[in-house]
Amino acid sequence: MKTSLYIAGCITILSMTAAVARANNFRCPNGSIVSSGDSISEVMVKCDPPTNKIKRTDSDETFRGRVRYIEVEEWTYNEGPHTLVHYLTFRNGVLTEVKTGTFGR
């Protein structure tokens, strides 16, 4: 009995870890896959153009108290009401985050 519970616990932990690892991947509308660490130019080549792009500059304080500025670009892929919306965030030209929203419009 204890062995069964141990194995079930291990499987649960491993499946949760795998889900987290996939969280920063995105399957483009054309079927290509991009991942955290890919550059904007790589994503542009692999994916179709996004539905929307927003550019902004964020500030970040370094450990020495200095302020540095980061170029942030957020891309939105909205493929309609039967597909989830995806948000890709690039910082200084590198894909750093992929979020999934609700169903599109």
The whole-model pTM stands at 0.72
Alpha-carbon span 90 to 80, nearest angstrom:
23
> 2.40.30, 3.30.1370, 3.30.1450, 1.10.150: which CATH number matches 26-103?
3.30.1450
* pLDDT tens digit sequence for 73-94: 999 999 999 999 999 999 999 9
| Cβ neighbours of 14 (radius 10 Å) | 10
What is the domain partition of the chain in residue ranges?
26-103
Mean pLDDT in each 10-residue stretch from start to end of the chain (105 residues)? 51 43 79 96 96 95 86 96 95 96 91
